[in-house]
Amino acid sequence: MSRSYWITPIILLWIGSACAEPAGIRFVENTPADNAEYRTGDLIRREIRVGVEPDYELETGLLPSIGVSVADGLEVRQVSWTREDEGDGVIYRVQLAYQLFKTVVDTEQTTAPALGLGFVAGGKRAWMEVPAWSFTQTPLHDSTDGHASIKPALPPLEYDLEPAGRVVLGLIAALLLVAGYGWLRLRFFKRLPPFAAAAKNCRRLLKHPDSAAEQAVFLALHRAVDRTAGYVLFSSGLARFLIEHPEFAGMEAEFQQFFYISDRYFYAKNEQVSDAGSLRDRLDFVAQFCDACALRET
């Protein structure tokens, strides 16, 4: 038997094993077809169907990672896979989406590298390589001079901000007006505490000290006492008032003197009023008493 007689079958056997799928893998289908056309910004979707023996599992950790650039201007954007039982085998569908970022001024051919897929079954491992694939990239706009210029389809919008500025200024002016009005109300119309209001009236009335001023001063001070107490206060209720209002502690003698002079003024005969001192003395005491109460009230 010649040497060529037994070498030939060996060569044929080697060629057949090289053309067959790896052990454990039954078939591979790859879409889309090569040489499809895309433009900048397009998503390029691929689906790879692999039929394997039922005990083989896809090694998902070997799939491309999102964000990885696999070619010039070609980036992985989505990766997913599914497993389906079919007959006596399993079909894996691997879906990939790439986005094209490269800008070209003329038609170009781009080739994406081969993709390796691994499958394991116990101690066995099957490895296959999906061949590299090509596609055609065309420019966004045709260019006759070889220098494409990408421009927006519409000119930028121009806004007239003057009317809006007038509205804003008007709103600011209105807010300032409202704030000023509120401040004036607080400044001029705020109700003073009882004794502070009485002290203010006393200072005004005592500019012209006479009997009419004396009567007005006593009435103003009685209103302050009643407002503070929350009821009409007579001399008989003074002890209760001082307990309810400890801020006036230590002023019991002044309050008693005030009620004594007031009772003399309103209820005694004219000749008995002088027992409480002269008009000037009475007015000075009332003014000092009112100021002292105003300093203590809360």
For residues 248-267, give the mean pLDDT: 86
For residues 109-137, give the mean pLDDT: 86
- Structural domain contains residue 271: yes
Q: 217 and 124, same structural domain?
A: no
CB 293 within 8 A of CB 262: no
The last residue of a domain, from among 137, 171, 202: 137
Indicate which CATH number applies to the domain containing 62.
2.60.40.740
Q: 118 and 29, same structural domain?
A: yes
- Structural domain contains residue 53: yes
Query: Using CA atoms in the order 41, 72, 32, 125, what is the torsion angle rounded to 10 degrees?
Result: -130
The last residue of a domain, from among 119, 137, 155: 137
Least confident range from 108-112, 212-216, 238-242, 273-277: namely 273-277
For residues 165-182, give the mean pLDDT: 81
Q: Is pLDDT at 294 greater than 70 in this prediction?
A: yes
The last residue of a domain, from among 113, 137, 161: 137
- Structural domain contains residue 95: yes
Most confident listed range (14-28, 123-137, 258-272): 123-137
- Quick one: pLDDT band at residue 180, thresholds 50, 70, 90? confident
Q: 199 and 113, same structural domain?
A: no
Q: 202 and 123, same structural domain?
A: no
DSSP 105-171: SS-EEEEEPPEEEEEEETTEEEEEEEPPEEEEE--SS--SSS------SSPPP----HHHHHHHHHH
Q: 108 and 25, same structural domain?
A: yes
DSSP 36-71: EEE-TT-EEEEEEEEEE-TT-EE-GGGSPPTT-EEE
Query: What residue numbers bound the domain in which 248 lies?
Result: 194-296
In three-state secondary structure terms, 268 is: coil
- For position 273, what pLDDT does the model report? 56
Nearest to 52 by CA among 91, 5, 10, 94: 91
- Structural domain contains residue 74: yes
- Structural domain contains residue 9: no
pLDDT in tens, 88-116: 889 999 999 888 888 888 888 888 888 88
The secondary structure element, H or E, covering residue 278 is: none
- Structural domain contains residue 39: yes
Tell me the whole-structure pTM to 2 decimals.
0.41
Q: 132 and 52, same structural domain?
A: yes
Query: How many domains is the chain built from?
Result: 2
pLDDT, averaged across the chain: 78
- Structural domain contains residue 160: no
Q: 115 and 34, same structural domain?
A: yes
- Structural domain contains residue 3: no
